[in-house]
Amino acid sequence: MAPNTAIFYFSGTGNSLVCAQALAQGLGNAKVLPLAAFREQARIPVEADRVGIVCPVYFYTLPLIVREFLPKLDLSRARYVFLAVTMGGFPGLALVHGQEILARSGANLHAGFAVRMYPNYIAAYDPRKLGSRVRMERNLAKAVPKIVAAVRAEQRVPVRSSLTGRVFFAALGRNFLATCRTRDRSFYADSRCNGCGTCVQVCPVGNVELNQGYPRWLGHCEQCLACLHFCPTEAIQIRGRPTQRRGRYHHPQVTAAEIATQRLLPPSL
Ligand SMILES: Cc1cc2nc3c(=O)[nH]c(=O)nc-3n(C[C@H](O)[C@H](O)[C@H](O)COP(=O)(O)O)c2cc1C
Ligand code: SF4
Ligand code: SF4
């Protein structure tokens, strides 16, 4: 029997979930687990032979929730650990930071991969103008077999830090990490909101509630943008950004209900 693999994922708009599922399918004998469901646990023991983490790049680094999750993983039984990030175009220091965080808790990162998918950061650009579904599918179809082959062979794939990654991270990433949780202060719902509650359901960390039929954000945000992109009426906006004129995105194979299950603990590890 193939060695078993546990793949933990975090995903706002579905790209990383699709990537994690494709890797699990390619590897066989693999479980896909939502890392958001483990966020209250102090220690996460893992029995699998191989462990993967799949998540988006945020501001040239890893999402805060992932940075907090990695040191809690007990990887003492794992023979091989890999990190695969999905991104709009620039991984920056995401893989390097993953390696450094694991090293600080005494674990090794054996391989790191970056997969260009669809850019979803609507605060900075119009995803519809920058993104291409055809390119995303082509990239994923190329990347998945390569990652699967490397993981099967338990191959070492070193992660590198580029000078541009360091410069951009120094300028933007640190500020993002320091302000991430309260950046939801600039979210609001406009008059198109019909009180359907989808934003409440999809939030992977329970950071949205309805107040008199309108969403209210609670100040422990991960900036995954699931609430904004899955809102069926495109009512959620970011103050000071022209988000009313920009297109919404979520991976076409991923439903709001699937994103909503991220908060729920899977039946077993
Ligand atoms: C807050 C935020 C910051 C982002 N920063 C970057 C970045 O630095 N580099 C990049 O290539 N993509 C960046 N993106 C785009 C996402 O990494 C990309 O769309 C990813 O595939 C989304 O994954 P998901 O669908 O699993 O949430 C950012 C997205 C968000 C929401
Ligand atoms: S998902 Fe959109 S329409 Fe539904 S409650 Fe939230 S903001 Fe309003
Ligand atoms: S409030 Fe919205 S952006 Fe923040 S974590 Fe929840 S779904 Fe993601």
Domain limit, last residue, from 142, 165, 188: 165
What is the per-residue pLDDT for 212? Answer: 95
Report whether residue 227 contacts ligand 3, using a CB cutoff of 6 Å. yes
Q: Do 188 and 241 fall within a single domain?
A: yes
In sequence order, what are the residues at sequence separation of 6 or more whose Cβ sits closer than 8 angstroms to the Cβ of residue 224? 10, 11, 12, 13, 56, 63, 204
Domain limit, last residue, from 124, 139, 165: 165
Q: Do 14 and 146 fall within a single domain?
A: yes
Q: What are phi and psi of 103, to 5 degrees?
A: -60, -40
Task: Provide the CATH number for the domain around residue 52.
Answer: 3.40.50.360
Report whether residue 207 contacts ligand 3, using a CB cutoff of 6 Å. yes
What is the per-residue pLDDT for 233? Answer: 98
What is the per-residue pLDDT for 98? Answer: 97
Residue 227 Cα to ligand 2 midpoint, Å, equals: 8
Helix 15-27 to helix 133-152 angle (10° resolution) is 40
What is the per-residue pLDDT for 147? Answer: 98
Give every residue of the chain whose pLDDT is below 50, as ranges: none
What is the per-residue pLDDT for 143? Answer: 98
Give the separation between CA 70 and CA 51, rounded to whole angstroms: 11
Which residue from 188, 230, 236 has its CB within 8 A of the most atoms of ligand 2, so it is best to mutate? 236
Which residue, among 76, 75, 31, 82, has the nearest Cα to 54 in the 3D structure? Answer: 82
pLDDT 10s digits, 62-85: 999 999 999 999 999 999 999 999
Per the CB < 8 A criterion, the answer to whether 107 and 73 are in contact is yes
Q: Do 40 and 147 fall within a single domain?
A: yes
What is the per-residue pLDDT for 269? Answer: 64
What is the per-residue pLDDT for 166? Answer: 80
Any domain includes 199: yes
Any domain includes 208: yes
Instruction: Give me the domain span that covers residue 70.
Output: 5-165
Q: Do 130 and 200 fall within a single domain?
A: no
Report whether residue 145 contacts ligand 1, using a CB cutoff of 6 Å. no
Say how many domains are in the chain. 2
Domain limit, last residue, from 165, 197, 216: 165
Task: Provide the CATH number for the domain around residue 200.
Answer: 3.30.70.20
